[in-house]
Amino acid sequence: MSQSQIHLCIIQPVGYVPSLGFLDQARYFRYQFRRLGAEVTIGKNRLRHDAINFVFGAHAGFDPNLTQRYRCVFVNLEQLGEHGAQVLPDYLHLLSTSPVVDYDARNASAYGKSGCVPIVSFACAPYLATDVIQPIEERSNDVLFFGGMNERRFQLLREVEAAGCKVSVLPFGIFGAERDEEIRRAKAVFNCHYYDSARFEQARVFQCLSLGTPVVSERTPVTDAPSQFEDSVFWVGSDSVRTFFQNEFRAPSFADAARARLNAFAAHDVLDQYASMLENVMGHFAPLKMSSAPWQPQRLQIGSGKDYMAGWLNLDILPRAEPDLLLDLSAPLSLPLRLESALAGPVELRADALDFIYANNVLEHVGDLPQLMTNCLRLLRTGGQMLIEVPYEKAPSAWQDPTHVRAFNENSWIYYGEWFWYLGWIESRFSIVAQEYLDEKLAVTHIEHAHFMRVRLEKVATTAKERSTARSMRPDFGGIPEDVI
């Protein structure tokens, strides 16, 4: 692994939109690391075996066993400790046993690493600047608020409205360019604390200031902000919000005062913090030697894309799905098979080795399904299982995808179990463990409401009688010894 290779991994459970919020901070890390000469990539849920991985959002779930195969640094952006965010004990344990980067030193005591955690802050992000910035006094929206809502924030926003200002609340769940456009249209963004811990939300505020929009932020006696925000933000006490917006915000001088603060923010640079942090991280990993032996996975997912499963070997035939390996299991497979992967490192697939295979809405796309099922049978150990989800043929949605080549019904599994000899199998076959119907929301339902089928198969050894039957049904005898003495 080159020390200049860095991967920024954002953890996002399938369909969990708030994880997109970490793109702001990941892009800022990328900007600073590139300034330090590093090669940087960003990915969703995917770790890279050939890089140091900075992981964002691990509080949403992270398998700690992955740290045995990957170099991981966890970026904590949660407000931890008393009166802060309620996170799972597993997350705190992960932070306490792994390298961590934090944005506030007060968080570190919550995971027992005070004094030994690199602290970095956020400052001006020049890549967010545009050639044309609408003058503040000409913008159509008074005050913008975005973020999670609770009663505390709701009451403070009512104070802003009571001052005669129009408050636009961005619906929760809008991130990226669409949110940034709304920020640029506002005369100011109002920032207030969600938790009583009142940590300054610099990971949000730096984005607004970098976009050229002033920020008015609540400040309590325990709010502590990095120096680059002190002269760049309009600070208001919790009990003086209405007064500020009635007087200072509505004053003709607000736009000029805001521009002065934005210029002050642009003058700050925190590159030294990232250089020191990266040196600390490199020093931590320098003496560690990762095993060069190929990984022999026990769990395999056929398909990748949005359903990527960390800790599994994810296969796909499409590069845009960003799998661990590009491999077509519907083609003949020579085992053992050794392959190299930037994500997974060296990988070895062996016969009779996998515990589990998951195929979620894949089999309906496969051209040579018997070959794929044959390969899966070979890869699974006896007792290993295969979980399959496929469209049900009688559902209205069964053939809506133009890439489908088949749909499935109750009889689709007979060849892989009872009539296994038609596929040339002798020593083993599949047995149906469970079969159920799913509705359009993937909830278990009755057959008349089925959109999908879920089938669990298990690899079992054939009996002596089954092997004799198989040989009698084949065009040959299933292999005759040479009897050479």
pLDDT in tens, 321-357: 999 999 999 999 999 999 999 899 999 999 999 999 9
pLDDT-based confidence at 1, cuts 50/70/90? very low
Give the type of residue at 149.
Answer: M
Answer whether 108's CB lies under 8 Å from 114's CB.
yes
Helix, strand, coil in percent for the chain, rounding step 5: 35, 25, 45
The string of pLDDT tens digits covering residues 42-94 is: 999 999 999 999 999 999 999 999 999 999 999 999 999 888 888 999 999 99
The string of pLDDT tens digits covering residues 350-405 is: 999 999 999 998 998 898 999 999 999 999 999 999 999 999 988 877 777 777 88
Closest among 47, 49, 48, 74 to 60, alpha carbons compared: 74
Query: What is the predicted pLDDT for the residue at 3?
Result: 53
Spell out the domains of the chain, with CATH numbers in brackets.
5-120+271-285 (3.40.50), 126-266 (3.40.50.2000), 299-473 (3.40.50.150)
Query: What is the predicted pLDDT for the residue at 24?
Result: 97
Closest among 14, 4, 10, 36 to 23, alpha carbons compared: 10
Interatomic CA distance for residues 117 and 277, integer angstroms: 9
Measured CA to CA in angstroms, residue 465 lies from 462, 468, 472 at distances of 8, 5, 11
Closest among 252, 282, 257, 240 to 73, alpha carbons compared: 282
Interatomic CA distance for residues 228 and 334, integer angstroms: 59
By the 10 Å C-beta count (0-12 exposed, 13-18 middle, 19+ buried), 103 is classed as buried
Measured CA to CA in angstroms, residue 411 lies from 327, 407, 422, 432, 455 at distances of 28, 11, 15, 12, 12
pTM of the full structure: 0.89
Query: Does residue 190 have a pLDDT over 80?
Result: yes
Query: What is the predicted pLDDT for the residue at 120?
Result: 97
Answer whether 143's CB lies under 8 Å from 170's CB.
no
